[in-house]
Amino acid sequence: MPKIFFVNCISKLSGRFPLRVVLIVPFMLQIITVVGLVGYLSFSNGQKSINLVATELRNEITGRIEQHLFNYLKTAHLINQVNADLLRLGMLKITDPSTIEHHFWQQLQLFDSIGYISFANEQGRFIGAERREDHSVAIGEKKQEQFYFYTENSEYLANSQGYRKDLTNTIKDYDPRTRNWYTKTKSAQNPIWSDIYPLLDAADLSLSVTQTVSANQPYYDKKSTFQGILGTDIYLSQLTEFLAGLRIGYTGETFIIERSGLIVASSTSEKPYYINPKNKEVERLDARNSQMPLIRHPTQYLIERFGDLSNINDREHLEFIVAGEREFLVVKPLQDERGIDWLIVVVIPQADFMAHINANTRMTIWLCLIALVVAIFISLSTSKWLVAPLLRLKSAAQKLADGQWGQPLPTERSDEIGTLAKSFKKREKQLKELFDNLEHKVLERTAQLKQKNELIRQIFGRYLSDEIVTTLLETESGLSLGGERREITILASDIRGFTAQSNRLPPEKVIKIINLYLAAMADVITEYQGTIDEFMGDGILAYVPHTLIQNLNIIVHNRFPTISTILIG
């Protein structure tokens, strides 16, 4: 039952459209549906594959960054531990600063990630060695390095053998025991990390060279007596170089920030610090104020999502929209027991993965269009082959309805359309014969009716107006018995004093006057839809519609002052 209902609905619906549309549209819809469905499934599966690949890539990159950071950061504390052991064993002595300076210089030669190694004791003595990089060259190019030695009151340029060469600067009022890094490490009684700070160019203190972070460790002698602080600084610029060397899709970026939002390092060319125009001091750059969209927008999104960066406790795979483009984001905390609490953020635009998918989508669209064009061409050709003879039959039927006989039809075909054309031709012949016979009979009947109408007009026209005669002939009820009830007024008129005048006039003159009078009165009465009942000498008896009698009476008296009229009704 439902099948029959469905078929009936389809039949009724298809019957409202031309046959060409019925033949072409379903075929086109099938092609579009199949190609569109295949394209959608392909695109959908591609999206899923992209999500999986993006997730794996983000995990791989964050894993590499995390591993590199742990290896990079532990070197500084390892150097501090080695130096503490050497001091405790007596292999390094605070009373021999030259030996310690040379030892520090050798360590700087071995570890290019280290920028500064120092030792400060409770007596205010300070010994340090520094690697000073030329940061004017581009990332990845070889840097020209110089080494310097420091005491609590002097700065020396080191020679190529790792000993003092020239005194380059004198330092006044420097007491390491009052510095924040010293007091905090002494209070912690364990190795800790300092806050990140900019390392300035000694030649121009307004120019920042790089950011650095110091690994500080308290030193206790064999008697567990606190003696001082060992410090090893690492350049964060090398983290930037490492991040910049990672391939993160085509346009992806990665950066490391503290929980406060301050940038530690990034894969972009943007410096993680800036010169404050108000006080001309070097300040660290907040990721929310970065000029790089792939740093600024992800940070803002993380703060909006978690409320505060300190609420991120585990790896998070996220997606967000920027300017209508989807971005893949992964954030992972990086923490150690010495105080490091950073966030590794990797951002990859979806467009980096969509290039091939978009290319396949475009190819699918083109194939769909080509298939659609081919389908339309085939459908048009097929429909033309099927519909053209049917249109000829339709045209012949329309012209036959207009009386045009003998239209050419495809009777030469042997298929169903040819059979239909032959049947149509046969029916046309029968209709023509019937039509010719019927036309002849109609002409005869029309001539007879015309004669009868003329006779009726002649008979009734003597007594009735043309309007009434026309009504009698042209309406079905005109000649029916029973008549029609109307409100009328009887008009009786004659010529005042006509009897006396007729005795004085010759008969010919009397006849002429009566004819003129009766003709004029008949015209007026007919004009006002009156009906003349009879003429009686110079008298007239007529019936006039009640609504028009007053107008008629006025006209009669105006035209014929000598006429007397009597109105009844």
User: For residue 187, is pLDDT > 90?
Assistant: yes
> Would you say residue 336 has pLDDT above 80?
yes
- The pair of structure tokens assigned to 234 is 């690492």
Contact 495, 563 (CB under 8 A): yes
Task: Give the confidence band of 301 by pLDDT, cuts at 50, 70, 90.
Answer: very high
Average pLDDT of every residue of the chain: 79
Q: Report which of 33, 41, 19 is spatially closest to residue 372, judged by C-alpha positions.
A: 33
**CB < 8 Å & 24+ apart, contacts of 268-277:** 268/244, 268/292, 268/294, 268/295, 269/139, 269/244, 270/295, 271/208, 272/211, 272/236, 272/240, 273/198, 273/208, 273/211, 275/206, 275/208
What number is the average pLDDT over the span 294-320?
A: 92
> Does the structure show a pLDDT above 90 at 183?
yes
pLDDT in tens, 219-232: 999 889 999 999 99
Q: Assign 3-class secondary structure to 56-68.
A: HHHHHHHHHHHHH
pTM score of the predicted model: 0.59
- The residue among 97 and 562 whose pLDDT is bigger is 97
∠ CA 520-521-527, nearest 5°, is 95
- Whether 287 and 262 have beta carbons less than 8 Å apart is answered as yes
Compute, in degrees rounded to 10, the torsion defined by CA atoms 374, 378, 384, 387: -120
pLDDT > 80? residue 92? yes
Question: From the CA atom positions of the chain, what is the Rg in Å?
Answer: 59
Phi, psi of 551 (to 5 degrees): -60, -40
**Among the ranges given (67-81, 337-351, 414-428), the one the predictor scored with the smallest mean pLDDT:** 414-428
pLDDT of residue 461: 62
> Is it the case that residue 386 has pLDDT exceeding 50?
yes
Q: Provide the pLDDT for residue 202.
A: 47
Nearest CA to 231 among 150, 170, 173, 166?
Answer: 150
Instruction: Give the C-alpha separation, 132 to 307, whole Å.
Output: 40
DSSP state string for 410-440: -TT--SHHHHHHHHHHHHHHHHHHHHHHHHH
pLDDT in tens, 159-174: 999 999 999 999 888 9
pLDDT over 60 (residue 6): no
Domains of the chain: 1-398 (3.30.450.20), 483-568 (3.30.70.1230)
Tell me what pLDDT residue 137 has.
Answer: 47
Res 412 pLDDT > 70: no
DSSP 275-306: E-TTT--EEEPBGGG-S-HHHHHHHHHHHHHH
The rounded distance, in Å, linking the Cα atoms of 486 and 489 is: 10
Tell me, what's the pLDDT at 534?
Answer: 79
pLDDT reported for residue 298:
94
Q: Would you say the C-alpha torsion 210, 240, 106, 158 has a positive or negative sign?
A: negative
pLDDT score of 493? 79
